[in-house]
Amino acid sequence: MFFKLIPTTGRPLYLQLMQQIRHAAETGALRDGDQLPGIRTLAEELVVSPNTVAKAYSELEHDGLLELRQGSGAFVCVKRRTRSLADHVQAARRRLGDLIERLREEGLLDEEIKRAFEAELLYPAGIVRKR
């Protein structure tokens, strides 16, 4: 699969890698039992520190999305939970699509909508919003 890590965003690279693998599993680009490259191979391919790949893999193993086998690499395990999560994401995307359509009808520009989304997403999750 193709990865694109962007070092200048300020987001840790291991998080970007985790997110892209998770996304691939949710969209079906990665299927149950698929093998991912070994840590060294992927690190050399992406030209990132091996620790970056190792950390992403071990976090994903902890989440139950990868199974690391000594010497033979990393295997994707898409459980029912991941599949239902994929459905969940699909449904959420439809709702987001509706919302964005409404905002456009109200005259908001795509750039404004994008900024608003980004700003909202950057709130630390723990903070209770006051309105």
Site residues (CB under 8 A) for other proteins? 7-14, 39-40, 43-44, 47-52, 55, 119, 122-124, 126-127, 130
Distance of CA 123 to the CA centre of its chain: 18
- Long-range contacts formed by 61-70: CB under 8 A, 24+ apart: 63/22, 65/21, 65/22, 65/25, 66/21, 66/36
**Nearest distance, CB of residue 49 and other proteins, angstroms:** 5
**Nearest distance, CB of residue 107 and other proteins, angstroms:** 19
What is the tally of helices (H) and strands (E) in the chain?
5, 3
**Nearest distance, CB of residue 129 and other proteins, angstroms:** 8
Q: Which residues in 30-53 are b (16+ Cβ under 10 Å) and which e?
A: beeeeebbbbeebbeebebeeebb
- Smallest CA-to-CA distance from 16 within 26, 6, 24 is with 6
Whose Cβ is closer to other proteins: residue 39's or residue 78's? 39
**Nearest distance, CB of residue 65 and other proteins, angstroms:** 20
Whose Cβ is closer to other proteins: residue 14's or residue 57's? 14
Whose Cβ is closer to other proteins: residue 107's or residue 124's? 124
Whose Cβ is closer to other proteins: residue 32's or residue 63's? 63
